[in-house]
Amino acid sequence: MIDYNNLLQSPLQQLKQQGNYRYFLDVNKSARHFPRFYYTTENGEKRTAVNWCSNDYLCMSVHEEVISKLSFIAHQSGTGSSGTRNISGNTIYHRELENTLAALHNKEAALLFNSAYLANSTTLETLGQLLPNAIFISDERNHASIIQGIKASRCEKRIFQHNDVHHLASILSALPSTQPKIIVFESVYSMNGSVAPVKAIAALAKQYNALTYIDEVHAVGIYGEEGGGVVSETGAHIDIINGTLAKGYGVIGGYIAAGKTITDAIRSFAKGFIFTTSLPPAICAAANTSIQWLQRNTAARTTYRNKVQQLREALSEQGIPYVNNASHITPIPVSNATVCKQLSDELLASYGVYLQPINYPTVPKGEECLRVTITLHHTDKDILHVATSLRKVFLKYDLLQQRIQQPITASI
Ligand SMILES: Cc1ncc(COP(=O)(O)O)c(C=O)c1O
């Protein structure tokens, strides 16, 4: 007899030995006190801590207008959409949100998905199936959802070195001019926080007649005059823009924005769009409110950037080594999965600082880090507290001895 549990225990055991097993903290999230939250320890003690690893960068998940809209439309329309977009699950709220997204990205159309993961995987898979002769040219640091989509398309692929336009050019120039090419990359890379040379990639795409696909998941709401992301900030032309409603916009769902024909092709053929219940109307209405609020309130982005700067100055003052990239994501390299978990546990238990360890496979082995993300609601006191707590914990684990004099400030 096959013992399936036994077979599955072995990879789990391996994960634990490597320090990569994932432990979840059951957070009692507080709309009123975010980023502070409450939790109960294993021995039943009630505690509070401050979240320093949230993707709710602009605190839109706790924004009064967004919450009110969600609750108002839920009372009007109910909780679920009741069907797929094709069969009974298409509402005015879906259409309105897609119109807002198309306008935000200066595109003819937009298409909603239940998450940006699904938007990436199903759009890329479908594109490849519709253009079977195409070759994907993908940045080596692309997100798992992109890798999944390209794999599922069964198209040929080439990988270019991270953000390396020279390598990308050499790949493009070696391909036949008649072969369809799709360049796939992210604007802000989620874990190391590096920012793509979007304009240079767009120029190469034009030169070699390639289609461009960008993941702006960590950029929408935060960059660009109205929050349209790095593409809108740089004015580059990118054919297909992918974004999320779950991070900068604080709700849930994903989308693509593109020309009418591309969007219609994905709408008509993508299984991950067609065969699933659509987002609830109240979610669409809340996301629309969030986007529009951020389009109007440009000062939120300036305040946010200043906070990122303030955090980095505080880390520098405490001698904490961090990667001084051009985005709002501040990784603190640790380079060891077990130590990363120990630091994270100690920060939570002793200082009320919640910073989940970022380990393999989220980052390659050897690049384990603490990924610090500030939000609009972190206070000056919170910033000082996280920096001094990190210093104490790094000193305790003997991690600052050589590095303390010289924080890493190299750009990537
Ligand atoms: C770069 C990138 N793309 C896509 C996604 C998926 O976004 P969502 O959470 O909306 O599924 C993530 C999520 O964590 C991400 O980091």
Answer for the pair 354, 49: CB distance below 8 angstroms, yes or no: yes
CA distance 393 to 92: 52
A 10 A CB-CB count for 222 gives 25
At 261-290, the pLDDT tens digits run 999 999 999 999 999 999 999 999 999 999
Nearest to 321, CA basis, from 406, 214, 231, 221: 406
CA distance 253 to 245: 5
Task: Please indicate whether residue 143, judged by its CB atom, sits closer than 6 Å to ligand 1.
Answer: yes
CA distance 339 to 41: 21
Task: Please indicate whether residue 234, judged by its CB atom, sits closer than 6 Å to ligand 1.
Answer: no
Confidence (pLDDT) at 408: 45
Q: Which of 181, 247, 307, 341 is catalytic?
A: 247
Give the mean pLDDT of the chain. Answer: 95
**How, if at all, do strands 36-40 and 135-139 pair?**
unpaired
Q: Is 247 among the catalytic positions? A: yes
Report the interhelical angle of 92-104 vs 281-296 (nearest 10°): 30
- The pLDDT confidence band at residue 409, using thresholds 50, 70 and 90, is very low
Matching residue, tokens 């604080």: 250
Distance 117 CA to ligand 1 centre (A): 5
CA distance 8 to 382: 42
At 174-231, the pLDDT tens digits run 999 999 999 999 999 999 999 999 999 999 999 999 999 999 999 999 999 999 999 9
Answer for the pair 102, 260: CB distance below 8 angstroms, yes or no: no
Confidence (pLDDT) at 400: 78
Query: Does 411 score more than 70 pLDDT?
Result: no
Answer for the pair 388, 342: CB distance below 8 angstroms, yes or no: no
- The pLDDT confidence band at residue 412, using thresholds 50, 70 and 90, is very low
Q: Quick one: tokens of 6? A: 């036994």
Q: Quick one: tokens of 224? A: 């660009």
Q: Quick one: tokens of 202? A: 């767009």
Confidence (pLDDT) at 410: 36
* Coil/strand/helix, residue 299: helix
Query: Does 18 score more than 60 pLDDT?
Result: yes
- Section 345-371 average pLDDT: 94
- Section 119-142 average pLDDT: 97
Q: Quick one: tokens of 396? A: 């305790």
Distance 217 CA to ligand 1 centre (A): 6
- Section 83-112 average pLDDT: 98
DSSP letter assigned to residue 262: H
Task: Please indicate whether residue 141, judged by its CB atom, sits closer than 6 Å to ligand 1.
Answer: no
Query: Does 404 score more than 90 pLDDT?
Result: no
- The pLDDT confidence band at residue 361, using thresholds 50, 70 and 90, is confident
Q: Quick one: tokens of 289? A: 């409110």
Confidence (pLDDT) at 401: 59
CA distance 359 to 354: 15
pTM, full prediction: 0.95
Task: Please indicate whether residue 122, judged by its CB atom, sits closer than 6 Å to ligand 1.
Answer: no
CA distance 159 to 141: 9
Distance 248 CA to ligand 1 centre (A): 11
Query: Does 364 score more than 50 pLDDT?
Result: yes
Task: Please indicate whether residue 215, judged by its CB atom, sits closer than 6 Å to ligand 1.
Answer: yes
- The pLDDT confidence band at residue 398, using thresholds 50, 70 and 90, is confident
CA distance 325 to 195: 8
**Which residue stretches of 36-175 are H helix?**
64-77, 92-104, 116-130, 144-153, 165-173
